[in-house]
Structure 1
C-alpha cells in the first residue's frame, strides 16, 4: 500500500514516534525521517548543543525549516519532535501535507521512557515530572487539534500501535 500523503507522527517525547515510524517504514516499504535526527544531521550538532548555543527559539527555527522542507518531499513517514506543534506554521504545514497520527502517552510513561536521556534539553530540570505535566497541558490540545487519528500508546506493544495505524490507513 503506497503512501498517497505523508504519514506524520505527533505527540509528546517518549510516546514512540521514532520507534513506530521506523516500524511503519519497514512495513510499508517507504522512507522514514525523524525531524530531530534531520536537524542534527543538517547542523552537524546535537540538539542539546543547539539549545545551549541558540536557545529553544533557534532550535524551533531549525525545526520549522526541516518540517517545511520534508513536507515538500514525496510521501514518507515523518516523526516530529514533541514541541513542533507549538508553532502555528508547523501545525498548518503538517495538516496540509499528510495524515496526522497523535501518539499519546502518560507523563509517568514518558518519565520511564525518557528519564535517563540526556539528549532531551527540556527535561534537564530539577523536576522533570512537573515540566512534562506543564508541557502536556499546553501541547495535548494542539496534538488533538491536528490529529486524524488518536492512539494511546501507554503500556501498548509497538506492533499493536502499528497495526492500529495500518488498519486506519486501509479504511
Structure 2
C-alpha cells in the first residue's frame, strides 16, 4: 500500500448487509487511515441503554430507525472517522440523505453464499432467526442492493484476506477523491 497519507475530507460510512465485513474492514481502514473507528449499532445501544433487539421490541422498527437516524446524525457531526452502520441504516431515506450530505458512503458488496457462510458463525442476528438464512439474505439482497448501489463507492468484499479488501477500499477512495497516487496503491 502506498505510504502517501490520504486526506479524507468526510467521515467514511460503511454500508452493506450483515456479514459484508463492515466492522472488520472498518477497523482496519481506520487504522490504515489513522482515523477513529465507530460502530453505529454500539452507539445506538449505548445511547438507548438497551440492546437493538430491545429497542425493536419496545418501539418497533420505526422507533428504532428514528433513533438510529439521530445517532448517525450526531456521529456525522464529529471529526472525520470510519463509521460502520447497521444493514438497514442506508435504507432509511432520512439517514441516507444525512450520509450523502456529511459523509462518503462505501458499500461493501458481497455475494449471497459468502454472506450465508459468514453469518452462520453467529447467532445474534434476529433477522436470520426468521427462516432459512440463505432465503432471508437473498430477499434482503433483492430489496437492499439497488439502494446500496447509490453509495459513493462500491467495493467487493469476497473471501480474500480482510487487508486485501481494506486496500481495495483505499484504492477506490483515492480514485474517487481524484488522488494522483491512486494508481500507486
TM-score normalised per structure 2: 0.85
SS of the residue 1:124 aligns to: helix
Q: 1:123 to 1:65 in 2, by over 3 A?
A: same
Structure 1 runs, 4 residues or longer, greater than 6 Å off? none
Deviations 1:83-123 (A, max 9, x none): 01221111111111122111011222112111242321111
Secondary structure class of the residue paired with 1:50: helix
1:41-60 aligned at under 5 Å gives the runs: 41-60=46-65
Match of 1:168 in 2: 172
In structure 1, stretches of 5+ residues that fail to align are none
Could you tell me the TM-score, scaled by structure 1's length?
A: 0.92
Aligned match of 1:19:
24
Given the superposition, is the C-alpha separation of residues 47 and 119 from structure 1 closer, same or farther in structure 2, using an over 3 Å criterion? farther
Question: Which structure has the greater CA radius of gyration?
Answer: 2
Kept in 2: contact 1:85–1:143 (CA 8 A): yes
Q: Is residue 2:154 matched to residue 1:156? A: no
Contact kept, 8 Å, 1:60 with 1:84, in 2: the verdict is: yes
User: RMSD between aligned alpha carbons?
Assistant: 1.5
Separation in 2 of the partners of 1:126 and 1:5?
38
**CA contact 1:47–1:119 (8 Å) conserved in 2:** no
Long gaps (5+) in structure 2? 1-5, 180-185
Match of 1:126 among 131, 134, 142: 131
